[in-house]
Structure 1
Amino acid sequence: MTISDPMAAANLYRLAFGFIPAQMIHVAARLGLPDALAEEDLPPAELARRTGAHAPSLRRLLRGLASLGLVEETGTGTFRLTPAGAPLRADVPGSVRPMLMPYFSQGVWASWGRLLDSVRTGEPAVESVTGGSVFSHFAAEPELAAEFNAAMAVSAGMEAQAIARLYDFTGVDTVVDVGGGSGALLAGVLEHRPDVRGVLVDTASGVSGAPAVLEAAGVAERCEVAAGDFFDSVPAGGDLYVVKSVLHDWDDESCVRILRNCREAMKETARVLVVEVVAPPVVDAATDPFLAVSDLNLLVLTRGRERTEEEFTRLLEAAGLRLTHIGDPVGFNGYRMIEAARAAAQDGDA
């Protein structure tokens, strides 16, 4: 068989070597090049002095970044940051840098090099690379843990606004954020809903940064921080249990355990609000590529996956909950609000 479309081969070359632009972006962000170029055009030698790089090699990187449209070379031998590269700055609202950095860590990068192993075995490659889960990998290094928490906070902050704006909080006095980390999501909801109180629950290390986040948002007096394990229990008495970006990290059995703990803690009229991407039944070229990338990232790094509406429904039913509503996609990642209520009483219920 002869390849009749040379453009198809060229496109495959670009896709196959996509790891090179990814590392170019990583190194630019790690060196702080976008920030150094934010105020003035600079020659490679001066950029190298400021960033601790090798000047001739840095110039080669800058020219590569120029081919991506992130910087441009001027006629005087200097480089300037373009609008396309501006979101890599660390000090601007809407920066993408925090979302990128944890996933360029050595452990994650090496794990993606073993995607073949994960596809063959179904096991997360990160465990053979780092000797433990991706969460223990992030937690083991303070700088990496801070980068991971910052990434989660960026996503949570955007989704918080959507939840506060779009969800009907009628009858909700207390929101329990299950696995909410440093509290960015809950802080954002409470900022926009001054009539609501909050309870944040996560591991002791997960909530260690929460007091500062809640204080900065001006909501600390309306929020209780509870260190705990959502596999054991969650705080009782809430009106709304928010579970964002948690279930996709775990296998079905673990997800049912988390959701069942929420059910056992709920008042009769309370609701669970799962905030996750909902995969379509059929994935094709028209599907948001973020979905497939995220799902494979979960394969390599966790024991979870992105799930369809049918799969979420089964998880909820197994936990004694019933799906009541799925909202439209919100935020740049296309998260959806999946609402559930208690199903009919089960054996053993009070």
Structure 2
Amino acid sequence: MSINYEKLQALSDLCTPWCLHTVGTLRIADYISEGISHIDDLAKASGSDAYTLQNVMRHLVNKGVFEETEPSRFALNEVSRGLLEPGFRPDLTGIFGRMAYAWGTLPTYVKTGASGYHEQFGLPFWEDLAANPDVGKSFDDLMGIAGHGVPDPHFPITGDWDAVQTVVDVGGGTGAMLAEILRTRPHIHGTLVDLPGTASRSAEVFQDAGVSDRVTVAGQSFFDPLPAGADIYLLKKVLGNWPDKEKKEILRRCAEAAHPSSRIVIMGGVTPDEEKHQLSIEMVLVGGKPIALSEFRDMAREVGLEITSTQQHGGFLVECQPV
């Protein structure tokens, strides 16, 4: 049996991703785009050691990321131009830094099934974000357009949207999705539920959408009792961020708050039974995982909910109602 050592070495190489994160953090691509090309000038602009930075740059040139147009002068190519995009740039500050370093806790997650994030940063993920507002804000920014995609308020529900008067967006971040729901349906009032630091950053989002007069902001944990009696409780990309025990508690809070004809709409975190799950950064950060539909059905029943519909709409959408 032959062994492809070259491929194995390439796959296990940690040098390249750390070089990318380093030049991303130092904004090297930005300086090059501004006309700075010589290594001495790049080092001065980025506050770096010229010899070390040049070694990093030459490693990335060999990997096809930059070009060395003449000795010690570097240029962007079609790969490194991607480093100019704020939503993509590898960065060791803010949430991107947390994600990069969190991979070092993967052995704990694999051995225990629980996140080892606290081993690296001293606190569990959500507590760390609350204790470090700058990191929390960078996470909120990521989970806006970059993290969730363009908000789509036209997701299907059973029945008629015209009959919906109230929507609670549970764990809705800074409100991008709820703002679009209200903007496209002037008869609906909404409530945003998220932790106080995140919820406090929603005012501008709602103001820009022109819906501030139809929104209530609840700065709280969704493990606490939720605003009661809404027609729809929306969980968009929430359940997959939590282990099963916490998933059940979130669903229980929705069931407790719902009236008999309320609907709980889950977008993300529940998958068709045949879908194969793969490792993701969310699993490493918080120990969360998606749940197969058959398992979710049992979990929902335990808290008094029944699945009423499932469908594909840019992802797998599940709707429940109180039993």
Cα-to-partner distance string for 1:18-45 (whole Å, 9 max, x where unaligned): x333222222221122333335462222
What is the DSSP-based 3-state SS (H/G/I as helix, E as strand, rest coil) of the residue aligned with 1:74?
strand
Code of the residue aligned with 2:238 in structure 1: it is: V
CA spacing shift, 1:270–1:70, aligned 2, 3 Å: farther
CA spacing shift, 1:62–1:315, aligned 2, 3 Å: same
Q: Partners in 1 of 2:88 and 2:164 — Cα distance? A: 33
Q: 1:323 deviation in Å? A: 1.8
2:294 aligned residue? 310
Cα-to-partner distance string for 1:169-200 (whole Å, 9 max, x where unaligned): 34323221101222233234334444533210
CA spacing shift, 1:47–1:99, aligned 2, 3 Å: closer
Q: Partners in 1 of 2:92 and 2:179 — Cα distance? A: 23
Alignment of 1:194-343 (within 5 A): 194-279=186-271, 281=273, 292-294=278-280, 297-328=281-312, 330=314, 335-343=315-323
What is the DSSP-based 3-state SS (H/G/I as helix, E as strand, rest coil) of the residue aligned with 1:311?
helix
Could you tell me whether the CA contact under 8 Å between 2:189 and 2:214 is conserved in 1? yes
Q: Partners in 2 of 1:236 and 1:42 — Cα distance? A: 59
Alignment of 1:62-77 (within 5 A): 62-75=57-70
Which residue, out of 8, 11, 19, partners 1:12? 8
Cα-to-partner distance string for 1:41-80 (whole Å, 9 max, x where unaligned): 6222222222222222222222333344433332475333
Alignment RMSD (CA, Å): 2.9
Give the % identical residues: 30
Unaligned runs of 5+ in 1: 344-350
TM-score, reference length from structure 1: 0.79
CA spacing shift, 1:38–1:216, aligned 2, 3 Å: farther
Code of the residue aligned with 1:306 in structure 2: it is: P
Q: 1:90 deviation in Å? A: 4.7
CA spacing shift, 1:65–1:329, aligned 2, 3 Å: farther
Q: Partners in 2 of 1:278 and 1:118 — Cα distance? A: 21
What is the DSSP-based 3-state SS (H/G/I as helix, E as strand, rest coil) of the residue aligned with 2:267?
strand
What is the DSSP-based 3-state SS (H/G/I as helix, E as strand, rest coil) of the residue aligned with 1:160?
coil
1:54 aligned residue? 49
Could you tell me whether the CA contact under 8 Å between 2:169 and 2:190 is conserved in 1? yes
What is the DSSP-based 3-state SS (H/G/I as helix, E as strand, rest coil) of the residue aligned with 1:293?
coil
Q: Partners in 1 of 2:99 and 2:124 — Cα distance? A: 11
CA spacing shift, 1:81–1:315, aligned 2, 3 Å: farther
CA spacing shift, 1:292–1:151, aligned 2, 3 Å: same
Alignment of 1:178-189 (within 5 A): 178-189=170-181
Could you tell me whether the CA contact under 8 Å between 1:157 and 1:188 is conserved in 2? no
CA spacing shift, 1:81–1:328, aligned 2, 3 Å: farther
CA spacing shift, 1:142–1:227, aligned 2, 3 Å: closer
What is the DSSP-based 3-state SS (H/G/I as helix, E as strand, rest coil) of the residue aligned with 2:266?
strand
What is the DSSP-based 3-state SS (H/G/I as helix, E as strand, rest coil) of the residue aligned with 2:199?
coil
Q: Partners in 1 of 2:296 and 2:311 — Cα distance? A: 14
Q: Partners in 1 of 2:317 and 2:247 — Cα distance? A: 16
Which residue, out of 89, 104, 109, partners 1:118? 109
Q: Partners in 2 of 1:321 and 1:62 — Cα distance? A: 55
Cα-to-partner distance string for 1:244-298 (whole Å, 9 max, x where unaligned): 2222232323222211221222233321111214456567xxx6xxx5231xx34
